[in-house]
Structure 1
Amino acid sequence: MAHATQVLRSEWTKAMTIRSTVWTLGSAFLVTVAFGVLLSLLIRTTYDDLPEENKLTFDPVVTSFAGMSIGQLAMIAFGVLIVSSEYSTGMIRASLAAVPQRGTFMAAKLLVGTALVLVVGMVTSFLSFFLGQAVLGDLATSISEPNVLRAVVGGGFYMALIGLFAMGVTWMLRTPMLPFAILTPLFFLVSPILGSVEATREVAWYLPDQAGSMIMTVVDTGDRPYGPWAGLLIMAAWTAASLVGGYLLLKRRDA
């Protein structure tokens, strides 16, 4: 127990002394909240011009979370950098020399990373919701309405899982460039394109971002074969698979 506590303290110290930890998490918070407020303001001023079909499916909660589509890039950056810094600085050799039990080493870094992304994710989600609803005015909803609290808490979990998924991918690839080259196009190009094409839409529904984002919806459009919690579970499965893959490769490869 004492050894595990020491490893955890060491990983916390490393995370807090890496400048990218502060600016990536800070960017995730600021960008998500700011863009959510801006889009909420835009929707409020243009709502009367929206097609009737869009008004019927209007979801004020999702509107306040619009910034997450951009803020998740910063969460990806956090997950990539907190792991890849071990390899880019050569610290991985010293880390594994000090903690030969690779499972313990990885678990400690994951616990620290999870704590950071979960706290930032929850704060970001709640603030985005309350500020977004304040801007929406008459179009707003209340956190006491059915399923709204679930969506807001789920938004925090979504942000956290994005960071952890990126950590798992980076454990497998070990360099910062490859995870960025894979994850950024996946979330910002491949997933939206597949989701907008009718022939591939059903495939896109099972990608981590599209499945996970269902947890933030309150208005059911009826286009998915699963609900909000099932969508988050699909995203959690992707995250677990990336972390298991990262652990298996960490265990087999030399530093």
Structure 2
Amino acid sequence: MRRALHAEWTKLVTVPAHLWTLAAVTAVLAAAGVLVAATQRPPDCGPGGGCAPQDITALVLSGVYLAQLAALAVAVALVSGEYQPRVILLTLAARPGRGTVLLAKAAVATAAVLVSAVLGVAAALAAGHEVLSARGFTARAGRGPVPLSDPALLRAAAGTVLYLVLVGVLALGAAWVLRHQAAAVGAVAGLLYGPFVASRIVPMPVHVLHAVQDASPMSAGLAAQSLVPGTGTAPIGPWSGLAVLAAWAAAALSAGWLMLERRDG
């Protein structure tokens, strides 16, 4: 397993495009956090203070909506690069254990996305907090940045990192099934954004809307970012939402393993 991990890590770090894409995960999260924070204005609640609270943390972390495209692109490229040309034949000849190859790629992709996501989320929260404070936001009544040491904020940060990692695993599984970079990226992007967009623009009964949101990998997974009740992407708990995304990722990776066992060789 150690040799397989070393081989896959070498494939990752020796391709500049992979490194630039990983850097994009960090850069997009950080830049979006600053830009979104810079466009916010403290709510004018009037004397009674009756305005609805804002989920400032989710706004600052909203770069995840774009950063996930870079995360999934890296994971897909690690697999699809084996098929154009058919380098997979050499990989399997050198390492006949197909499960070992799949797990090594999954471990490398997870580690790479994890590091990029941690750096990006930390930068977004730190910079966004400073920008919001400079613009006059206060922490009272949910109208300002939550302290960086707050357990709820740390949960949202960890949830965002886990979300990106699970998106990478989901993309890895899809790439094993489809074996083509454009097809895999398109399929995963459609799975993430399709139900999410539909739940925003298609009129549905409330129970149907909630069912779609709770089952959608993006809506359910990003519920982990919500700190203000009623403002999340789905009416589901943060860890339950991540469990939904994890189930999608596990199903995709299992399908990829089955296809690798039965088709390639």
- The reply to whether TM is greater than 0.5 is yes
CA change 1:146–1:17 in 2 (3 A) is: closer
156, 166, 187: which is aligned to 2:161?
156
197, 213, 219: which is aligned to 1:204?
213
The yes-or-no answer on 1:237 pairing with 2:252 is no
6, 10, 16: which is aligned to 1:9?
6
In the TM superposition, residue 120 of structure 1 has moved relative to its aligned partner by: 1.1
1:215 & 1:55 partners in 2: Cα distance? Answer: 24
Please list every run of at least 4 consecutive aligned residues from structure 1 whose deviation after the TM superposition is greater than 6 angstroms.
Answer: none
In structure 1, the partner of 2:141 is: none
CA change 1:189–1:226 in 2 (3 A) is: closer
In structure 2, the partner of 1:39 is: 36
> Which residue identity is paired with 1:230?
S
In the TM superposition, residue 189 of structure 1 has moved relative to its aligned partner by: 4.3
67, 72, 82: which is aligned to 2:63?
67
Q: Normalization by structure 2: what TM-score?
A: 0.87
In structure 1, the partner of 2:171 is: 166
In the TM superposition, residue 206 of structure 1 has moved relative to its aligned partner by: 1.4
Q: Percent identity among equivalent residues?
A: 34
In the TM superposition, residue 191 of structure 1 has moved relative to its aligned partner by: 2.0
1:14 & 1:158 partners in 2: Cα distance? Answer: 24
The unaligned stretches of length 5 or more in structure 2 are 138-143
In structure 2, the partner of 1:128 is: 124
> More deviation in 237-246 or 220-229?
220-229
The unaligned stretches of length 5 or more in structure 1 are none
RMSD over aligned CA atoms reads 2.2
> More deviation in 99-108 or 180-189?
180-189
Given that 1:123 and 1:156 are in contact with CA atoms closer than 8 Å, whether structure 2 keeps it comes out as: no
In structure 1, the partner of 2:229 is: 220
More helix by share: 1
In the TM superposition, residue 173 of structure 1 has moved relative to its aligned partner by: 0.6
Q: Normalization by structure 1: what TM-score?
A: 0.90
Please give the per-residue CA displacement for 1:139-186, whole angstroms capped at 9, x wherever unaligned. Answer: 211122341111111111111111111111111111112112222333
2:115 & 2:13 partners in 1: Cα distance? Answer: 15
1:54 & 1:189 partners in 2: Cα distance? Answer: 35
